[in-house]
Amino acid sequence: MAADPVAADPVAADPVAADPVALRTPCPPPITVVAMDLSMAASYKSGVNDAEDEMTTGLPLPAYLATRYADWLTTRFAAASGMYRQLADEGQHPRAMVISCCDSRVQATTFFGTDPGEFFIHRNIANLVPPYDPAGHHHGTPAAVEYAVCVLEVSHIIILGHSSCGGVNGCYQMCAGKSPELDSDTSFVGRWLDILRPAYQRVAGKGSADEQIAALEKEGIIMSMENLMGFPFVRDATEAGNLTIHGLWNDIGDGALLYFNGKTFAPVLAED
Ligand SMILES: [Zn+2]
C-alpha cells in the first residue's frame, strides 16, 4: 500500500513550511486576479452615453510621444526583446520597492540604473507613507506596500525623498498658515499633506524658513519609515529578517544621494 503522500512529506504536512507567507499572519488572504468586466469596458469604449467625454478621452497621443514610442519599440525594446518576453512569461520578482515623490525630476531607475522588473515603484506627493489605519478608505499607498510585502515579498523598501520638493514646501506653507488654499477641506493635496504635519512639528521654529523646509524633507522620510513599521505585516517581515527599510534623500541639482543611518543623513558610498 502506498504511503500517504501528505504524511510522508514534512513540507506538505506543515502548512507554515508549505506556505512561508502563512508565517505573516497579519497579511490578508492571497490576492485573486479576476477577469476585467469587459461589458463595462465595451460600454465605455462605445461612448454612446457621453459623446462629449469621448472628445477629451479618446484622442490619440500627442505626436511627440507617439514618435518616441515608435523609436523605443524599434531600438531599445527590440534589443532587449528576450528580457521583456521572459518578464511577461515569468511575472515580476522585484527585490525592492521604492516609494518616491511624483516629482518628474526624481527617477530612481535612472540613478540606480535598473532594468524593468527590478523595482516595484509607488509614487505619491512628497513620498509619504500614512500611518496604519485600517478604518480609513482609499488606501493607495498601503495597498502598494501590502502587495509588495505580502505577495511580491520584496527584500527592501526604499523611501526616496528629494531636494526642492514642492509637496514638502506646500506642507510647510500650510502648517505655517501661509497657504489657506491647501488648508481647504476641498484640497486633495492639502488633505494628503496632512500626513506630514507631525514631521512639521519636529522642525517648526528651528532656523529660517528655507532651513525648516530642508529639514522637513528629511524628517518626512524618517516619519514615513516610522509609519511603515506600524503596519503589522511590515513589522513582522523586518523582525523575521526578510525585509529592510531604507530612507534616501536625493539632491536633484548635484546628484548627491544620502541615506538615514539612524541619526543623520550620510552619503551613500559604493563600499557601504
Ligand atoms: Zn517631491
pLDDT of residue 46: 44
- Average pLDDT of span 220-246: 98
For residue 138, the CA-to-ligand 1 centroid distance in Å is 21
More confident residue, 167 or 19: 167
Per residue in 204-217, pLDDT (tens digit) is 999 999 999 999 99
Q: How many angstroms is it from 137 CA to the middle of ligand 1? A: 23
| C-alpha 124 – ligand 1 centre gap (Å) | 8
CA trace torsion 228, 230, 236, 238 (10° rounding)? 40
Please tell me whether the overall predicted TM-score, pTM, comes out greater than 0.85 for this model: no
Q: How many residues appear in the chain?
A: 272
Residue in 194, 221, 191 with CA at minimum distance from that of residue 99: 221
| Cell numbers for 213 | 523646509
Distance (angstroms) between ligand 1 centre and the Cα of 170 equals: 10
Question: Within 10 Å of residue 164's Cβ, how many Cβ atoms?
Answer: 15
pLDDT in tens, 174-214: 999 999 999 999 999 999 999 999 999 999 999 999 999 99
Domains along the chain with CATH numbers: 93-267 (3.40.1050.10)
Stated as kind and residue range, the H or E segment containing 223 is helix 209-228
Q: What separation in Å is there between the alpha carbon of 89 and the centre of ligand 1? A: 35
Among residues 161, 159, 160, 181, the alpha carbon closest in space to that of 170 is found at: 181
- 249 in Cβ contact with 221 (< 8 Å): yes
Question: In angstroms, what is the span from residue 195 Cα to ligand 1's centroid?
Answer: 14
Q: What pLDDT, in 10s, does the model give residues 236-271?
A: 999 999 999 999 999 999 999 999 999 999 999 997
Grid coordinates in use for 143?
Answer: 495597498
How far is 142 from 147, CA to CA, in rounded Å? 9
C-alpha of residue 103 to centroid of ligand 1, in Å: 5
Q: What is the pLDDT of residue 31?
A: 47
d(CA 214, CA 206): 11
Average pLDDT over residues 9-33: 44
